[in-house]
Amino acid sequence: MRLWLYVGIAAVLVTPAALGQSAGEVERCFQNPAGCTSGGTAQPAPAAPAPAPAATAARPAPPPDYTTVLQSPEPERRKLQESLRTLDKYNGPIDGNLQSEATMKAISDWQRGHGYAQVGKLTPTEAQQLNAEAAKIPIKRIDPSQQAATVPSPPTAPAAPSNADTLKALQAKLAARRKAAEPKAEAAAQALVRDLKAYVAADGKGVAGEQFAGFARWYADNRSAGRSVGAINPLTDDYGEAKAGEATSTEVEFETKQGDKTYTQCLMFAWVEGNPRKNTLAFDCDDVAGLEKWKTDQALRSDWR
């Protein structure tokens, strides 16, 4: 009876599908029925989802390129100025200087009208657009048939000079005044040096010390320190007309020696020409404020600056 029971159980477990499986597969399906199909075959594990593509980091926009146009050849820079003039934005010289005040202002005006950043400098794209826009302006031509019938208009006043032209005119005028004044200024400085050398040669006596108290004190201090005075070199600082006459200020370098050491010291001398000199002053070259105050007090009208 037991023998027939065992045979029945085996018949139930050994199905037709199980007959096609190996012993190992039967054992796995017996232990984990959920991993097998109804036929006892193991179901494959679901495939892992593909990884999502990595997000690409956004790159910041490059800064505007103004260097290319600023460093372009001079004919190209002149053409940009001509285009600005054609568009009535610029009336200065056509010199290729895109960094002049007048040119940068004209570029800013053009950029404002086109919605660009008003920086007074052009990117290559903006430069191309500016030239293209100017090229579309029609050339004004005179019709000969109408020229004879046209009544000539009265002459217009000349255009006001630009700031650059005004500056050049002032510089030329000043250069001419300085050239004319140079011999007088040089003579005044050399006369001072002669008096200074005579004072040193006389060991502290002479008109230089009497007229320039500051120089007399300076000389006495050096003598007390055991220093002797050597070479004396003048350099004219300013020259012109003052309320009391022709005024001169001169920077003088003194070579002083103490033992085997040599020093350079500097004094500023200012005076109004006369015999004797008037309104004299001597002080350290670093005292710029003192010198400017002296010029203001003398109402100096410079031929030198």
Q: What do you get for the CA distance between the two ends of the chain, in Å?
A: 139
d(CA 238, CA 295): 9
> Over 90: is that where the pLDDT of 104 sits?
yes
Cis geometry, peptide bond prior to residue 152 (ω within 30 degrees of 0): no
* pLDDT exceeds cutoff 60 at 150: no
Q: Which two tokens stand for residue 215?
A: 């120089």
Mean per-residue pLDDT over the chain, rounded = 82
Q: How much is the average pLDDT of 291-299?
A: 93
Closest CA relative to residue 15, chosen from 29, 1, 2, 5 = 29
pLDDT tens column, 115-146: 899 888 999 999 999 899 888 887 655 555 55
- The Cβ-side half-sphere exposure at 135, using a 13 Å CA radius, reads 8
Q: What mean pLDDT do residues 90-101 have?
A: 91
The C-alpha angle 66, 111, 63, rounded to 5 degrees, equals 30
Block residue for tokens 């050239």 = 179
Residue type, 91: N
**Domain coordinates of the chain in residue numbers?**
2-35, 72-125, 172-302
pLDDT of residue 57: 64
37-74 tens-digit pLDDT? 555 455 555 555 666 655 566 678 788 998 999 899 99
Work out the angle at residue 120's Cα, subtended by the Cα atoms of residues 118 and 123, and round it to the nearest 5 degrees: 90
